[in-house]
Structure 1
């Protein structure tokens, strides 16, 4: 069912990886992720939002789906002003984005 939701016309989907370089980065993600998940999932237009540590403890899989471009842009703006962003901005990200075309 989730895949069907994520591919509907108008939805914006982001998939990729958060790539920690050290145990310190992992600790930052672990400390700030619960609040980030809670706040994002409560945003209007958030269809799904998951960040899960992979078998490689330095790599986190990220999957986001927002109802439309406006919801995604709201998320981006809110995130950039959050403690999550302040703590993790230096951690590399490798994302693919669809639905903004």
Structure 2
């Protein structure tokens, strides 16, 4: 069984920034409560306020897929619809 690691960044359009920042608090809380979530970090860049660095670890592919399914029906999905996503994904361990 291999961990799934997702790493990269998102770019938030200026008109969406306040809504994304507000919903991100809830999104982090819900994600960390998911079974199989080991690490979930989304950190706003200090140089570019529209960029957020992302690092996620899930215990296995099933946990990652459950996370993806939950997000599709969440407030985060609606708020983040216009975000540019730049991720790489790997399995480890």
Tell me which interval the TM-score lies in, with the shorter structure as reference length: over 0.9
Structure 1 residue runs without a partner (length 5+) = 1-8
TM-score after normalising by structure 1? 0.85
TM-score after normalising by structure 2? 0.92
In the alignment, does 2:37 pair up with 1:71?
A: no
Q: CA deviation at 1:38?
A: 0.3
In the alignment, does 2:36 pair up with 1:53?
A: no
SS in 2 for 1:51: strand
In the alignment, does 2:33 pair up with 1:42?
A: yes
Residues 12 and 82 in structure 2, CA contact (< 8 A), matched pair in contact too: no
Residues 39 and 57 in structure 2, CA contact (< 8 A), matched pair in contact too: yes
Alpha-carbon separation, structure 1, partners of 2:37 and 2:79: 22
* More strand per residue: 2
In the alignment of these two chains, the number of paired residues is 91
Alpha-carbon separation, structure 2, partners of 1:87 and 1:59: 15
